[in-house]
Amino acid sequence: MLTRSGKPGKAMNPTSNSSDISFGREPVGSLLVDSVFFRFVEDELLPAIGIESSTFWRGLESLIDDLTPTNRALLATRDNLQAQIDEWHKARSGQPWNHEEYVAFLREIGYLKESGAPFQIATSGVDREIATIAGPQLVVPVSNARFALNAANARWGSLYDALYGTDVISKDGGKEPGSSYNPTRGAAVIRYVSDFLDRTIPLETGSHANVSVYSIDASSDKKKCIATMDDGSTSGFREADKFVAYTDTGSQHSYLFRNNELHIEVQTDPNHVVGRDAPGNVSDVILESAITTIQDCEDSVAAVDAEDKVGVYRNWLGLMQGTLEAKLEKGGRTITRRLNQDRIFTAVDGGDLRLSGQSLLLVRNVGHLMTTDAVLDKDDNEVFEGLIDAVVTSACAIANSRQSERMANSQSGSVYIVKPKMHGPDEVAFTNTLFGRVENLLGLASNTLKVGVMDEERRTTVNLQECIRAVKDRLVFINTGFLDRTGDEIHTSMHAGPMLPKEAIKAEPWINAYEDWNVDTGIRCGLPGKAQIGKGMWPKPDEMKQMMASKQAHPEAGANCAWVPSPTAATLHAMHYHAVDVRQVQEKLAAREFASLDDILTPPLGDPADFDAETIQSELNNNAQGILGYVVRWIDQGVGCSKVPDISDVGLMEDRATLRISSQHIANWLLHSVTTEEQVLETFKHMAEIVDGQNAGDPLYTRMSDSFDTSIAFAAACDLVLKGVDQPNGYTEPLLHTHRRNCKAK
């Protein structure tokens, strides 16, 4: 990477994404732009949105010049606050915990802000998928075109398929799935779905399990759906207004219902292999599933240089244009995956009802920390990646309004950007300023860019009301995330003492208080009816029976969206939102006592005397195996999110958030002598052999245990722990990017 003088460019801070491989640079004003990125902007982005090249580059240059100093200052504040907290804990080492003194100290240094007067957010122009529909949400790496398309198309999903292909339906009693259709298993699926329909769109009399045929009663201006029962009697629906539309194509019919703002499509076909034997000839039930999808540029993506970033941006632009495609081999033939078309029905009043065939898409930018070699500023410093993300992802979204093949992603003309890893109100206010500058650059109306604030750092949690206030005119989303939040909890309190084992941390009072605090604050700041209050990911994509038994707790807790790991999981989780009216839940929660800030500010500390040798080694094994299983794919293959088998071979969805908590946890135990560096390294070597074995079937996999001294992935995993105390806020990106660049250079 060469600058104007031919010398290597300077990273703005040690968290650079810089690549050692130069692809050439283009001088643009005072900027030096990587040629790959420059050509993407000139040849693909600007023609797609109709903005002049000079306007774009001048605006970007001005934005970088003006906002870079503030970004630097905010990061310096993070470091300064953490240093003061570290020193406070060191000075009280060995003393009993004094909570009142601790809270007073956090207020004194400005970590904990005073809350201002109550207020309500004033966000307008919000689509109903965010404002009024409660339902599942997917998060997917936009760098993977196939995953991105699958998630975007997951707005609608087959309930029959979701049940038949997962462990929600038992394999006992001859119900094993196989290479061909098993009628016994199919019958169990049909019974399950009939029960769901009875609970959700019940008939006036009888059960959906005893329907002979569904039909349309057209005797009045507003058509009705009628069920004819096996005994020849007929029944309407207990809540007739839930029937909203239908289609009629020969022997194939569909009946569309709406419950709790979510659609259910009952498809019938007496000639279908399933429908011919099902009550009412129901060939499938299609659920409105992933209402929204976050296309991720951050934790689930391994983008370490300009070339990687262009791949991310190109896919996002393709989604917005409707042109993104992905080819895959399936069943011996090549399939081309594209965005779904809109779904058109005949409404009960005789008009057309058009529904989007895809999720409403949000895009998650990176946080304020990292820099990118895509652009060098006037001083040859790499530019903050978050600045480039905000400009480019917003610009890509403009292309959506210029296509006419499908309903617009946002019917209200908004652009939805999720901003992660912000620490406190000042950083959120900086995002508000950044978005305003981007709107000016791109010629967008004020507050076109909506923001989702991820409540995953403790300084944001404890100051959440003031964080929301800082973006009250554009806020559309807050959510909780146990993993990143726990990683920040450990790092913030690193010198306070040794942490409990990870499973024990989950049972500590602070985590439930944190979850409730997020909902309580969101409700009192007026988010219901305007914005999403979200919950975190179900991490086990193969354990759907467990998910169905537990994840209804999220809507019951007042969350109108929650993350799921797959389109299938979205279809199953959608049933929870039919069972729970989140609007009613939020109305009740508005009157409850606020969650405890004191609980939130109590670190999950343990007593090493309670940790026997077996407990310590088991915890190290679990953490080290998870770290290695994720890092080896990140470093060697550039895979930022994957299903990684845990130490018991249960597949878990892993991204940088899971990595952060595991690496910080071992680093904490090392710092407080719960374990030793020798024990940690021996554990890593043993777990590397296990991870190598778990990946034996991957032809792209590079074994670590063959040569620990030369394995970049193994070195990266060890560094995350051994250097964990010194990483900014415990983040894994700086070390991951450094080692991934080294791997790419080889």
DSSP 266-317: EEE-TTSTTGGGSGGGEEEEEEE---EEEEESSTT----SHHHHHHHHHHHH
Assigned token pair, 409:
């992603």
Distances (CA, A) of 553 to 479, 528, 549: 15, 18, 9
For residue 483, give the nearest of 657, 664, 651 by alpha carbon.
657
Work out whether the CA dihedral 663, 669, 674, 677 comes out positive or negative: positive
d(CA 408, CA 703): 46
d(CA 183, CA 357): 30
Assigned token pair, 3:
């600058």
d(CA 508, CA 505): 5
630, 635, 637, 638 alpha-carbon torsion, rounded to 10°: 90
For residue 693, give the nearest of 629, 643, 740, 634 by alpha carbon.
629
Query: Is there a contact between 262 and 574 (Cβ–Cβ < 8 Å)?
Result: yes
The one-letter amino acid code at 359 reads S
d(CA 698, CA 372): 31
Distances (CA, A) of 197 to 193, 201, 206, 209: 6, 5, 12, 9
d(CA 533, CA 540): 22
Active site residue: 314, 337, 364, 741, which one?
364
Annotated active-site residue 258? The verdict is no
User: Torsion-angle region of residue 720: left (phi > 0), alpha (psi -120 to 50) or beta?
Assistant: alpha
- Tell me which DSSP letter residue 153 carries: G
Assigned token pair, 106:
């956090």
Annotated active-site residue 655? The verdict is yes
Query: Which H or E element spans position 365?
Result: none
Q: At 6, phi and psi to the nearest 5?
A: 85, 5
Active site residue: 127, 655, 719, 740, which one?
655
d(CA 63, CA 360): 29
Cα atoms in the Cβ-side hemisphere of radius 13 Å centred on 36? 17
d(CA 320, CA 48): 10
Mapping DSSP to helix (H, G, I), strand (E, B) and coil, where does residue 360 land?
Answer: strand
- Which residues, at least 6 apart from 263, have a Cβ–Cβ distance to it below 8 Å? 244, 256, 257, 287, 288, 355
Assigned token pair, 715:
């070195």
d(CA 421, CA 484): 9
Distances (CA, A) of 379 to 19, 67, 536, 650: 18, 14, 40, 49
User: Torsion-angle region of residue 232: left (phi > 0), alpha (psi -120 to 50) or beta?
Assistant: left
Please identify every residue annotated as catalytic.
Answer: 364, 655
